[in-house]
């Protein structure tokens, strides 16, 4: 097999499924929430590293549409954790020029959490560095469904004709709107699945699975993922020769 052309660029958009907090805590005979709290330290490390490396967007899967099925104390603990993180970290985000945006159905959150999310989005709206997208009460199928509803409305009111619909219309109607599609998808915790994350947007992402549990994932692990990405040949359906040309 011909040697692969190296793709030395840093990914523009990195999307991460932060898995393994519960198992990390269990191994220490601690409650699952202890693992989520420890996971916030990895979140901080990864944000700083991506920001310094010049990554444009970082999307973190913090809470899936399916996570409501978890024990009540874990769900309420996670909600308090999100609130606490937003309260404590806004100053740091502003200092590092990080813009925060949430994607997902936020209407299911408490009015207090919804207001806090809106406030931090507004406070960091002028930041021009890393775009940090937190997927909370997010599901890839939910995202496609809400996009379809938006487009159906546009068709119904005569703004668009069905045969004028393009992939670009779908892209804009998704919650990620104008963001570039993820180049690199990382999942920690040893599982190898997408779990209803950015289903449409991940079409051409390079996939990287790490055995590390999320609280153990640090700068070195992220660099390993970037190195693996740099060694991949992204063909987007073309032949290797066409890509080189
Ligand atoms: C999955 O591990 C992790 C979560 C469902 C929560 C992750 C959330 C954080 C680290 C807080 C981040 C906060 C912000 C605002 C970005 P798991 O519980 O499924 O682990 P397991 O597979 O070992 O059970």
Q: What pLDDT is attached to residue 71? A: 94
pLDDT digits (tens, 9 = 90+) for 109-142: 999 999 999 999 999 999 999 999 999 999 999 9
Are residues 30 and 215 in contact, defined by beta-carbon separation less than 8 angstroms? no
Residue range(s) defining the domain that contains residue 215:
13-139+185-194+204-229
In-domain check, residue 199: no
Tell me the two tokens of residue 173. Answer: 């109607």
CA 55 to each of CA 92, 110, 122, 183, 236: distance values in angstroms, whole numbers, following the listed order: 18, 32, 22, 10, 21
The CB of 85 under 6 Å from ligand 1? The reply is yes
167 located within any domain:
no
Indicate whether residue 103 lines ligand 1 (CB < 6 A).
no
Strands (E) in the chain, as ranges, are 13-17, 57-64, 99-103, 131-138, 184-187, 206-209
- CATH code of the domain covering residue 103: 3.40.1180.10
Q: What pTM value is reported for the model?
A: 0.93
Is the C-beta atom of 124 inside 6 A of ligand 1?
no
Ligand 1 proximity of 20 Cβ (cutoff 6 Å): yes
Catalytic-role residue among 7, 8, 67, 183? 67
pLDDT number for residue 236:
83
Task: State the total domains in the chain.
Answer: 1
What's the mean pLDDT in 144-169?
A: 97
Q: Does 105 appear as a known binding residue?
A: no
Residue nearest to atom 7 of ligand 1 (CA): 62
Give domain status of residue 46, yes or no. Answer: yes
Would you say residue 174 lies in a domain? no
pLDDT confidence of residue 210: 98
Q: Is residue 56 part of a domain?
A: yes
Does the annotation flag 12 for ligand binding? no
Question: Is 36 labeled as ligand-binding?
Answer: yes
Question: Mind spelling out the 3-state secondary structure of the chain?
Answer: CCCCCCCCCCCCEEEEECCCHHHHHHCCCCCHHHHHHHHHHHHHHHHHHHHHHCCCEEEEEEEEHHHHHCCHHHHHHHHHHHHHHHHHHHHHHHHCCCEEEEECCHHHCCHHHHHHHHHHHHHCCCCCCCEEEEEEEECHHHHHHHHHHHHHHHHHCCCCCHHHCCHHHHHHHCCCCCCCCCCEEEECCCCCCCCCCCCCCCCCCEEEECCCCHHHCCHHHHHHHHHHHHCCCCCCCCCHHHHHC
Residue 217 in domain: yes
Instruction: Kindly state whether residue 63 falls inside one of the protein's structural domains.
Output: yes
pLDDT of 7 strictly over 60: no
Which residues are bridge partners to 57 per DSSP? Answer: 13, 131
Residue 90 lies in a domain: yes
């Amino acid at each position: 097999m011909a040697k692969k052309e190296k793709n030395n660029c840093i990914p523009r958009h990195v999307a991460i499924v932060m898995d393994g907090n519960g198992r990390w805590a269990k191994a220490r005979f601690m409650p699952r929430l202890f693992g989520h709290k420890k996971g916030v330290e990895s979140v901080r490390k990864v944000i700083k590293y991506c920001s310094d490396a010049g990554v444009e967007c970082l999307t973190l899967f913090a809470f899936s549409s399916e996570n409501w099925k978890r024990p009540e104390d874990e769900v309420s603990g996670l909600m308090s954790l999100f609130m606490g993180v937003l309260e404590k970290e806004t100053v740091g985000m502003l200092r590092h020029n990080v813009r925060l945006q949430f994607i997902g159905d936020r209407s299911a959150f408490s009015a207090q959490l919804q207001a806090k999310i809106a406030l931090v989005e507004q406070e960091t709206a002028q930041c021009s560095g890393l775009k940090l997208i937190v997927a909370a009460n997010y599901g890839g199928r939910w995202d496609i469904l809400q996009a379809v509803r938006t487009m159906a409305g546009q068709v119904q009111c005569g703004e668009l004709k069905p045969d004028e619909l393009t992939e670009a219309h779908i892209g804009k109607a998704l919650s990620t709107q104008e963001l570039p599609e993820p180049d690199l998808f990382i999942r920690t915790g040893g599982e190898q699945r997408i779990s209803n994350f950015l289903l449409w947007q991940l079409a051409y992402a390079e996939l990287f699975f790490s055995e590390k549990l999320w609280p153990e994932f640090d700068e070195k692990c992220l660099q390993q993922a970037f190195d693996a990405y740099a060694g991949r040949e992204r063909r987007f359906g073309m032949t290797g020769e066409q890509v080189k040309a």
